[in-house]
Amino acid sequence: MSKVKYRGLTWDHPRGFNALDAAAKATPELGLSWDKHSLEGFETHPIADLCEQYDLVVLDHPHIGEAVAGDCLRPLEDTFTPEEIVAWPRDCIGPSLKSYQFAGKHWALPLDAATQVMACRGGIVPPQTWDEVLAFDGPVALSLAGPHAALSFQSICAALGERPAMKDPDVLISEAVGLTALDIMQRLTDTSPLSVREKNPIGILQHMVDHEDVALCPLIYGYVNYANDLTFANAPCSAGGIGSTLGGTGIGISKRCEITPALLDHLRWLMSPQTQIGFIPAHDGQPSLRAAWLDAVVNARWGDFYRNTYQTLETAYVRPRHNRAIAFQTAASEAIRDTLYKQRSHDQLLTQLQTLYAGTRVPGSER
């Protein structure tokens, strides 16, 4: 038994906890145990505070700029070989590893891959475009609670042909694209069932399983755990192709962590093809390796969830990751909800969003 005891923190859902917990229990000599916190805590809690308490922290990539500013994570380049770091972006689906690259280094292992996709009740043929979503004959819900109002806005902008803060990192979005995206969101919000207005993605998906007042959610983070009850498909497309904002999670190694060969071997095992294709899906996880998303056995077990949403993840948009990106995401979501629910001026909202975005950035800094 190792004399080193490791503490890890992940998020409170079978997809985030079960595989990590089972893997730790299968190697008791490592001395690793996992705690969990709420999805809301995962999305907003200051990363530096968590790194003071835990050796391994499961995090979302917009926290990376904050973590680098707080000097609380070890870059992968300090613990893994150059060959491994070259292989992971080649093998991981979409921008899963790239999303944890900031200031010239990588800051987390992309254990879990996810992005906003489409979810609908069984028997419904999923619409493919935003025009088809707007014309859909049935109750459509938007995912707007927590940070998801801003994330849905960014995804629609990407589908319209402009990925926020990409052409000019100091400008969030152009007026024409931003107003069109808000018009789409307003039209859907005005008819969206009130029953899911305050629910996070997990709550919306469970509601769709249990009730019939939501037939379709065009942008919601995919959870394979619901794939046998709901139909998942690629996110809607428009002139810019499929629009979706990357999610997923990575394992960060905190500065307090004592690195041992046994710990690194455990992390390598979690990222290995045999684990990603076999162990993680068998324990309710959602793997990050492309090979797992294309595996016939994995897809057969989960209703072709991976194959049906694969293209969305491959082309997903990576949102800003600068320090205070989480603060922008939170404030922007509040502003978007307030405008949509109260049917306020979209022009004023766009000005407010740009002001909020500029207020959290140092001009010229990384996204």
User: The domain spanning residue 196 has which CATH number?
Assistant: 3.40.190.10
> Residue 364 falls within a domain, yes or no?
no
Residue whose C-alpha is closest to residue 285's, from 295, 276, 297: 276
Q: Does 365 map to a domain?
A: no
The interaxial angle of helices 346-359 and 175-189, nearest 10 deg, is 120
Question: Helix or strand or coil: residue 73?
Answer: strand
Mean confidence (pLDDT) of the chain: 95
Q: With a cut of 80, say whether residue 323 has pLDDT above it.
A: yes
Cα–Cα distance measured from residue 247 to residue 334, given in angstroms and rounded to the nearest whole number: 19
For residue 1, pLDDT beyond 80: no
Q: Answer yes or no: do 213 and 93 share one domain.
A: no
Residues 198 and 283 grouped into a single domain: no
Q: Tell me what the mean pLDDT of segment 324-347 comes to.
A: 96
pLDDT digits (tens, 9 = 90+) for 266-288: 999 999 999 999 999 999 999 99
pLDDT band, very low/low/confident/very high, at 317 (cuts 50, 70, 90): very high
Q: What is the pLDDT of residue 174?
A: 97
Same domain, 72 and 124: no
Mean pLDDT, residues 335-351 taken together:
98
Give the structural domain span for 69. Answer: 6-114+247-314
Q: What is the pLDDT of residues 148-162, one digit of tens each?
A: 999 999 999 999 999
- The whole-number average pLDDT for the span 98-125 is 95
Residues 160 and 61 in one domain: no
Q: Do 32 and 58 contact (CB within 8 A), yes or no? A: no
Report if residue 144 sits inside a domain: yes
E strand segments, 144-240: 216-221, 230-233, 237-238
pLDDT at 364 over 80: no
Question: 281 with 332, same domain?
Answer: no
The yes-or-no verdict on residue 43 having pLDDT over 90 is no
Question: Does any domain span residue 1?
Answer: no
Percent of the chain residues past pLDDT 90, beyond the cut = 92
Residue 309 lies in a domain: yes
The reported pLDDT for the residue numbered 206 is 97
Both 164 and 277 in one domain: the answer is no
* 257 contacts 5 by C-beta, under 8 angstroms: no
CB burial of residue 353 (10 Å; 0-12, 13-18, 19+): buried
Give whole-number Cα distances, 207 to 134, 146, 182, 199, in Å. Answer: 21, 17, 25, 9
- Give the per-residue pLDDT at 94: 96
Strands 116-121 and 216-221: antiparallel
**Cβ within 8 Å of residue 90, ≥6 positions away:** none
| pLDDT, position 336 | 98
Same domain, 151 and 277: no
Q: Are residues 100 and 120 in the same domain?
A: no
Flag whether the pTM goes above 0.75.
Answer: yes
Residue pair 327/315 in contact (Cβ under 8 Å)? The answer is no
For 147, 220, 355, the CA distances from 341, given in Å and listed in that order, are 16, 19, 21
Residues 121 and 194 placed together within one structural domain of the fold:
yes
- State the average pLDDT over residues 236-258: 97
Q: In whole angstroms, what is the distance from residue 234 CA to residue 316 CA?
A: 11
In this prediction, residue 40 carries a pLDDT of: 77
Over residues 316-344, mean pLDDT:
96
Report whether pLDDT(203) > 80: yes
Whether the per-residue pLDDT at 120 is higher than 70: the answer is: yes
Does residue 241 lie in a domain region? yes
In terms of domains, do 80 and 184 share one? no
Q: Are residues 138 and 239 in the same domain?
A: yes
Strands (E), the chain: 6-11, 32-37, 56-59, 73-74, 101-102, 105-106, 109-112, 116-121, 216-221, 230-233, 237-238, 241-242, 249-254
> Does any domain span residue 366?
no
Averaged over 66-83, what is the pLDDT?
A: 95
Alpha-carbon distance of 145 to 155, in angstroms, equals 15
Residue 2 has a pLDDT of 55
Tell me how many domains the chain contains: 2
Per the domain annotation, does 197 fall within a domain? yes
Are 171 and 68 in a shared domain?
Answer: no
pLDDT of residue 38: 82
